[in-house]
Amino acid sequence: MPSQKVLEEKKQIVADLSERIKNSVAGVIVDYRGISVADDTKLRKELREAGVHYSVIKNTLIKFAVDNAGLEGLDDVLNGTTAIATSETDYVAAARILSKYADSNATFEIKSGYLDGEVISLEKIQSLAKLPSREILLANVLGAFNAPIASFARAVQAIVDKNNDGANAEPAEA
């Protein structure tokens, strides 16, 4: 039987993970089998830079945490080597980064994920992974808003330039 200290540590891990899951907009659960230390370090750095929290936690602790967070349907994927990636603000970062890595590594596998507190299918995770980053989407939207204004400004400038050319022309001699 584990000591009281170990039980308290595990309860704290479950509480922290439950809170992390509740506060996140998206998460991905992966089987990290076959990843080298160098690749794991690179992957963790990329996830961290994207604002994604990635950790390896025992399946039983993840199970308690997802149950506390109200996520149903993840029990069947909580076996083998498991890591969880969560993001508080970016819906696609974890899926995009982990899917890209899974495509290049045959043993690294995405098990499941969730979005806004609902478990989603692997197909939806793959669809999320194909979306551009938030910054690129915002740039595209702003570019679309800016295009008509820029066209209008060029048209007004062309009219001004045309009128100035006529006003600056020297009068013809009689």
| Residue 4 token pair | 């009281």
- Residue 101, both tokens: 């890595």
Instruction: Give how many domains the chain has, as a whole number.
Output: 2
Report if pTM > 0.85.
no
Maximum C-alpha span of the chain: 114
- Domain boundaries, position 75: 4-131
- 26 with 49, same domain? yes
Decide the pairing of beta strands 52-56 and 83-87: antiparallel
Do 121 and 150 lie in one domain? The reply is no
Per-residue pLDDT of 58-112, as tens digits, reads: 999 999 999 988 888 888 889 999 999 999 988 888 999 999 999 888 889 999 9
Residues 55, 112 within the same domain: yes
Q: Does pLDDT of 24 surpass 70?
A: yes
Residues 120 and 38 in one domain: yes
Question: Residues 174, 96: one domain?
Answer: no
- Domain shared by 114 and 158, yes or no: no
Q: For residue 23, give the amino acid letter.
A: N
Beta-carbon contacts of 53 under 8 Å, excluding residues fewer than 6 positions away, are 20, 24, 47, 85, 86, 87
